[in-house]
Structure 1
Amino acid sequence: MDRSPDPSPEPEPGGGATAREEFAAELTRLREKAGLTVRTLAARVESPGAHTTIGGWFAGQSLPSISSLPLFRRVLDELGVAGPAETGRWLERLADLRRTRTPRAARGVVPYRGLAGFEEHHADWFFGRDRLRDVVVERLLAHGAGFPHLLVGASGSGKSSLLRAGVLPALRGAHGFVPCLITPGRAPATTLSRAVAALTAGPGTTHGADGPGTTHGADGPGATHEVDGPDAARAVDGPDAARAVDGLERWAEREGVRVLVAVDQFEEVFTTCKEPAERDRFLRRLAALPSSRVHVVGALRADFYAPALQEPALATALQRGQIVVGALTPEEIRSAVHGPAAKAGLTVDEGFADVLAADLRDSGVGGLPLLSHALLSTWERGRGAVLTLADYRAGGGMSAAVSASAEEAYAELTEGQRALARTLFLRMVAVGDGVPDTRRVLPLPGPAAAPADGSLDDRAAQVYEVLEWFVDRRLVTLDGDGARITHEALLTAWPRLHGWIEEDRSGHLVRQDLTRDAERWRSADEEPSLLYRGTRLALAARWAERSAGAHELTGPEAAFLAASRTAEEQRARRDRRHTRRLRQLLALLTVLATVAGGLATVALVQRRDAEQQRRVALSRLVAARSERLRGSDLALAAQLSLVAYRTAPTAEARAALTDVSALPAVTRLLAFRGVVQAVALSPDGRTLAAAGLDRTVALWDLRDAARPRRLDTPSPAFADTVYALAFSPDGRLLAAGAGDGTVRVWEPPGPTTAPGGALPSGSVAPTAAIGGQGGAVLRGPASAVYGLAFAPDGGSLAAASADGGGPGGAHRCLGPAGGHPAAGLPRGGAGGRAQPGRPHPRR
């Protein structure tokens, strides 16, 4: 989309059209380009009844008021003004026009800023700080990669103007820096992350005439990318915002630029930010930024030097990167006076600058806003092309110019408007508790939720009317979605405002806490635990009653205080009810104690009966379960019958126990985790052998059949599953056949071993004599051995395997000589099948 016409500064004198006419002409060009009539445009912004108001803007008959800013934003959007940056430029131009209420200001350029600070696009009108600007630029270029730098000076010493209109344009124009300007606000770490994320996101970054990486902000063409407290809420958000800070250097390296992160109003870290964790997170991120591609500079009021030294990151910056912003020299004052005048085609009375220098010294180190306002007042009062001492004196001079302007505006208000002005100005002041007073943003009522026709309720309309009165006189400026005092010099230069602050400083602190806590309560979905109670509620309520503060409360504050009072009253009523109930309960305790004693006796008897019935029922249930298990698990059935009888000696339990006692005893042995494939009992019945899928043979001592004991003896290692076991007739030898066709014979330890380990005559040689520790290994079958049997004399061993061509397998008789087959049965063939398990007669 094509860029909208640049709402550039006011035309030079003699250019013909006034600034308002130029503004209206540019709006008209946008409307004609969009092909819209005024009525069509009014309908598209859903405000058909406001076509007369909108038509006045296009005709140059009127300017959008503060209360109609939401409607003006919608009009710009329909006219194709793309993005918040372009919209911000139009709003800044509108603000400049609204300040030019004197006939002289309306006809030409305004050479002086008054209490308003200089922005980057005012660089051509910024005079008097050339030497200090060059020093700051030189220091940043030389040491900016190592640590942050701080411009430290008194309030009103020109720190912000030096940073915005001096340092930023110099680094951008001559050295290719991309500025990223922020003011900390209530959440400085979040503000920094969002500003960097917005800068590196891409759409707002250009490489045009304003320099590489320019992100046009709300201050006009070529402005830095700026995010302050209110605007931060609309900036890039999410987890990527925090990661963007860590990746800023990589982004600058990739884009081939250098970034200057500039933090104006650094003292807001201590005044506006109330969360220590948020402050610490911001300072740590800022301290980690300096590199060859990223430099950091900030502007800090000297009043907050001591709190800054308490922060390690700031202490390092103050020690190594501090740049003092002191008072102007006489030559610099002369430049600040004559430079803008010459650029505007004006001349200055001889000696005027010297008088200003003398008055500035009397005003103190923070008098630059007073100087600028006095120059503006002198220019506005003049008629010709000369700035005269007479006009300067008529405006009240240096010390009274600001006060005179404020009192002049205040005097033109009605009594109701004056009371409202007092409330609004006090809400734009952050009263310090042990720290200097500062200005703060006052959220504007209504615009965020304004109706489609731009109308507001009576209270909001009155607020806008009063604010507009002071905005037009440059005493108040719009800041995002709020308004703030143009400069903190007004806090002391206007005696009336200073008196408002001092007459009830403690009450203002209570109000500030109430404002903050009401906002937190509303943000937390009206969490009851955040309401005031006790002493805090009493202080807030006393302040509201004593100072008529109830009339100054905003809707959220009034709701918060009312909710706190309601909760406290409900709590008091609950306490009174609780006390009455306690007294009633005490009266009943005696009766209850008597009744409880009798009921306890009855309860004990009933409990004993119920317990007995429960045991009887449980005994019968367990006895029935024992009966059902008798056919499948005799051991468990016997145990359950005993449990049933011990629980309660019912007839069912006795019958189950008697039935199980008549059956042989069964003991379950858990031999292996897998399937048991073979079991063998020694001839004397004292040893049981079992084998299975785990390729081992386990032995049990059965001399106590009720409590078999497993013998902890190592089993020979088998290469495959053991499928067959057999004891010799005398019980001294044990043979095992495995799935790989091997047969092992060994003398198992335990009850079957005779003293001295002697073997019967003619038996198979055991372990050490033939096979070592693993016993004798007899080979012959070519596949799995499924059956084994010793001859009655123990001299031969028969093995049944799966050999042969038929499914029946084959039998082999293994003799004592080396384990070779002694004889073989006929293999199953086409006409016959061997019968496994039947011995083959000897030949």
Structure 2
Amino acid sequence: MPRGERPLDAGDSPLLTFAAELRSLRDRAGGLSYRQLGARAHYSATTLSDAAGGRKLPTLAVTLAYVRACDGDVAAWEERWRRVAAEVLPSPEPGPDEGHPPYAGLAAYGTEDADWFFGRDLVLDELEKRLTRRRFVAVFGASGAGKSSLLRAGLVPRFTGRVAVVTPSGSDVRADRLDLDVDLLIVDQFEEVFTLCPDVARRTAYIDALLTADCTVVLGVRADFYGHCAQHPELVEAVTDGQLLLGPMGPEELRQVIMQPAVKASCTVETALVSRLVADATGQAGVLPLMSHALLETWRRRRGTTLTLAGYEAAGGVQHALAQTAERTFTSLDKPRRALARQVFLRLTALGDGTEDTKRRLPRAELDPGADVDLVLDRLAHARLLTLDRDGVEIAHEALIRSWPRLRGWLAEDRDGLRTMRQLTEAAATWASLGRDPDALYRGTRLDTAVEWTQRDGVCTSTQERAFLAAGLAARDQERLLAQRRTRRLRQLVALLAVLLMCSGTAVFFAIRAQDEANEGWRSSAAWSVSNQSQALRGSKPGLADQLALTAYRLNPTEALRNGVLAANAARAYDVVTRSAFPSGQGLDPDGTPRPNARVPVPADDVYRRLADRMGPGAVVTSVVVESGARAYATTVQDQVGQVWDVTDAINPEVMHVFGGPVSRIAFDPVGADRIVTASPLAEVALWDWVPSAPKGQQARQRSRLTKHDRPLNGLGFSQDGGTAITYDDAGVIRLYDLADPAQPHRITELRTAQDVTAVALSPDRGTLAAGLANGLLRIWDVTSPGDPRSRVSQKVHPDAIRALAFRPEGAPALVTVGEYDRVMLWDVADTAAPRELARISGGTAGVNGAAFGDTPSKVVTSNDDGTTRSWEFDFDVAVEAICGRVEAHISREEWSQYVESVSGALDYRRPCE
């Protein structure tokens, strides 16, 4: 028996029983050694031995890996683990004589907590100085930097006179609701003006009212929304000399935050705990709510009046205390209530638009009333994960979104579906507010998409949303009935005109024209009905959906239905983990083909689905490249730590190099894989030589530094030939650097767009620069004269942000643009002043971070931050050949009758692939 294990005794605790059952499972699997088990589970033998030792409860991930390696029932063991976790990991409950906790946990310090607020005296002094000189000041800082506490518990008590503190939300972003009859107006969480108010006119009026207010105004803004603020010229002018950047606390400030509240509560803090907390939190942006929560949990585990290091470690520390509390609270719920809690958290999160995901205030009316809902909300609020009031619910702090792996996983699973849910919620609320106006109902593709989403497993809709969709379906049925009646009337008219043929030549002319119009109208109506059927069946019967898309095009060969066939073909494409060159910020290999001896792409339908999954929870793959020796490398950035991985064996990636300083962006040179470019959170950009043969940890050697940006970078990368480095920051400044001499790179072009740039690409001849913006705008410049770049076009091409751009490396000039959530578009850019749309393919593009043309001029490849790629074929004939070459390439007579004849009237059965 391995060291640390012991036999099961009667009366053992749930933890020891659980460990003994794990050992029994290993015995039933043939008594594998822990070394053999580790090879199967991809965990070390020591980790697996400790899991079965019974000293502490292993993590769920380790437990399930152990069970899979022993061929056990994963679902049953997951349920068993949750039961044991609920018993052995309970949080200490507050006692009746506990008094006022010295720490706020996730909640911000309010004005009533001013006596407990410490550590920001220097910043408050500086803020007061600025307010003596300016009537308009904006405080910028990362989420979790303590902006709300600074303004509410720090600034308000120092200010004499009438003060109002407001927080905008979607419905409250109205100029007429601002209380301007005050001396000081504080607008906390100002970024909600952008995240929760889609009405641009209302948003602009709100900002104008603040700028012209007859009082002192202070904004609290998340730093990653700096670019959004820059889109309003008057706001830019107001904060140019009136902004304060709130950075991480220094060691002495952190000591005050730790020690002073404890002293006020008549408690002491172990010296070792203070040192550990300062070490864990120093220099970490957004760490304050995590530290406050860890301190609160440590205080609940105090020994007498002493906060101990042991209590801190038991709580999970800064890195894990919040996730541990959230996971423990969630798993204590039974299965139906866990599903309800999942829906609550998803509805409480607003997905980022080129920014991090944020919290969203949820009106109670959006949740169906019931005892289960009330119980779930009470449990989550009791754990201080949510805050409740009479009218709404919200996440206590956005740190929960960043720090709880389970919630991050939910948000990453189906971002398209979450967008659909959010749009459905807003549309249903609008419909209800307009007295159920039929004109506000969903129609066409939007209705089909929403209905398909509601039929997925785990989806839960509200009563209002269900009523909205039911009304939309009923209206569509009525419209189809009216269309069929119009078609019958047109046919009757044609018959009547045919009878009059013998009477008048004029009647003949009108009869023929009416016949043509009737046929055209009938075929158009029938084709769109069949196309809608195709989209509705995409998730459940993809083969039939392909056939219906092709049938719709055969009925009415328009550009839109042609694009529908391309989209149907693309929807069947696999996400793949490939050994060919991935996009490295700006593209694939120059010729778009795999390197010599590169392995064939692996379908991502099993455990090989995502490189990111193999690299640890939350890993984001920023670039992957294959060098001439067929070795593949990937780069990741997680918590400002940049790493280079050897992913030649994609199942078992290996860390080759870890960068010593903080890194916010990283990308490989797509040609030769011998250079890397990185950016720090302070916008310092460095060029590195990549030498795989060097000792481990020394493969990346810094070669030079590029000119530092004034603002944090939104992106960086290389041109297709690797000869130019490209950077762009959150203020819309784009810079190009010539790398002909890597030891002394020099800047060749700088464009100050004053817009929120989300993607950039350089043409193969380096003479044309394209940029995609957060508002879906495409901008193109002629940069053949680097010192005098000239704007060629500014055109709206996507409804949301452009995620990636790429020029065709050879052949007819073409550009591909990838939208945030919706589609991939191909453009003819022979005339860069007038791009012409060639085709568009609708499909999920969430998480895309690069694009390039593939091994043919009509194929586009996009790369995703989970380490996968996907192909998009724009050649119609190739797409049709692929559809017709699949096993399910024929539609049966019964299916034809159900899905074609039923919506189009009499139409002879014909297989679209014959």
TM-score range relative to shorter protein: 0.3 to 0.5
Larger radius of gyration: 1
Superposition TM-score, scaled by structure 1 size: 0.48
Normalized per residue, the structure richer in strand is 2
Superposition TM-score, scaled by structure 2 size: 0.44
Normalized per residue, the structure richer in helix is 1
